[in-house]
Amino acid sequence: MEMKSGEVVRNAQERQDFYGRINPHNLAPLWEVLKGIVPAQPKPEMVPYVWDFDALKKFVLESGGLLTAEEAERRVLVLENPTLRGKSLITDVLYGGWQLIMPGEVAPAHRHSQSALRYVLEGEGAYTAVHGEKTSMKPGDFVITPAWTWHDHGNETDQPMIWLDVLDVSIVAHFRGQFREEWTDKRFPVSRPEGDALTRYGSGLMPIDYKPAADSQLTSPVFNYPYERTREVMYRLSRTGEADPHHGYKLRYVNPVDGGWAMPTIATWMQWLPKGFNTQSWQCTDGLGFVCKEGRGETRVTMPDGSQTVLTWKANDTFVVPGWARHTHHASEETVLFGFSDRSAQEKLGLWREKKH
């Protein structure tokens, strides 16, 4: 049927008939779905949630008696957001899980195109080896496994060790960039002394001729940021200036090569809240994840639809706040929070926004 410009088909049945005729040709009317695919503001699928470490640790340890680290390759209990069950997502776009390494075990060497971080929760002395350098890990340490680097984990102590894994699995999957490869042995050969990366790149100085490898130039060459150093910096900062009303004392982990985020797709930071400190309301487009390293308190969340949730947390608990949800932190004790999100990826795409209240 030929129509003149400006004429309107008023009969709903005519429209449905039209949709039926174009459907076999893999065509669809944008006007029926436009507001859904281009909404007025972000519509996160995830919900605010907290995983109580003390209550759930027993299940992590129980998994150690079900199968070996070698059988599992990585013995991890995935932290699934309640509205994203089955998708292995802690936030709308990031994977998160608690990994267990038992005494004497080695999680075999492999590499993948996903970037990963480890945040140590409990235990001391187990290691991660990244592309030929081992690093011993302590609670609060932030450890990076850059994309496509060989890595294995091992525990040469007499105690179990548990850490949080966070990976950009769904971001890589969205671009169909998934690759994975296993090394021929359990361990990738060690070729550099422990602490080499921190010595070379973590002191404010760098080798004068340093040039990052083409496949790792966006990731920090420092792959272990020890909590001991981080805490000392935050402690000194908290005694030399006023706390930001929305963040307290908040520092981001940086790549010393260019001053950007330490990882290209996952932003990481550490946040100090004095006892009794209540932040002002803040919202941002990235889905936020936190681990309480020290202290206790609560986070009050107001979703874009107006629904409200209070998350109560303490040391080693992991909790999440959806993107564009207004939220405030309330520290009942002096508190340190480790944070992670997809902000660094959003910023590179020109998508990240915030609003302070």
pLDDT per residue over 170-202, tens digit each? 999 999 999 999 888 877 778 777 777 887 777
**C-alpha–C-alpha distance, residues 184 and 150, integer Å:** 11
Residue at 197: amino acid letter: A
Per residue in 15-31, pLDDT (tens digit) is: 999 999 999 999 999 99
What does the pLDDT read at residue 237? 87
pLDDT in tens, the chain (357 residues): 555 555 666 678 899 999 999 999 999 999 999 999 999 999 999 999 999 999 999 999 999 999 888 788 889 999 999 999 999 999 999 999 999 999 999 988 999 999 999 999 999 989 999 888 899 999 999 999 999 999 999 999 999 999 999 999 999 999 999 999 988 887 777 877 777 788 777 777 777 887 776 656 689 989 899 999 999 998 898 888 899 999 999 999 999 988 999 999 999 999 999 999 999 999 999 999 999 999 999 999 999 889 999 999 999 999 999 999 999 999 999 999 999 999 999 999 999 999 999
**C-alpha–C-alpha distance, residues 252 and 266, integer Å:** 11
What does the pLDDT read at residue 104? 92
Phi and psi at 226, nearest 5°, equal: -65, 140
Tallying the residues shown for the chain, one arrives at 357
What does the pLDDT read at residue 194? 79
The three-state (H, E, C) secondary structure of 207-248, written as one string: CCCCCCCCCCCCCCCCCEECHHHHHHHHHHHHCCCCCECCCE
CATH of range 43-356; options 2.40.50.140, 3.40.50.12780, 2.60.120.10, 3.30.1330.40:
2.60.120.10
**C-alpha–C-alpha distance, residues 28 and 6, integer Å:** 21
What does the pLDDT read at residue 148? 92
What ranges do the domains of the chain cover? 43-356
Torsion sign over Cα 190, 194, 196, 202: positive
Contact in structure between 255 and 357 (CB atoms under 8 Å) = no
b vs e for 136-169, b when ≥16 Cβ sit within 10 Å of the residue's Cβ?
A: bbebbbbbbbbbbbbbbbbbebeebbbbbbbbbb
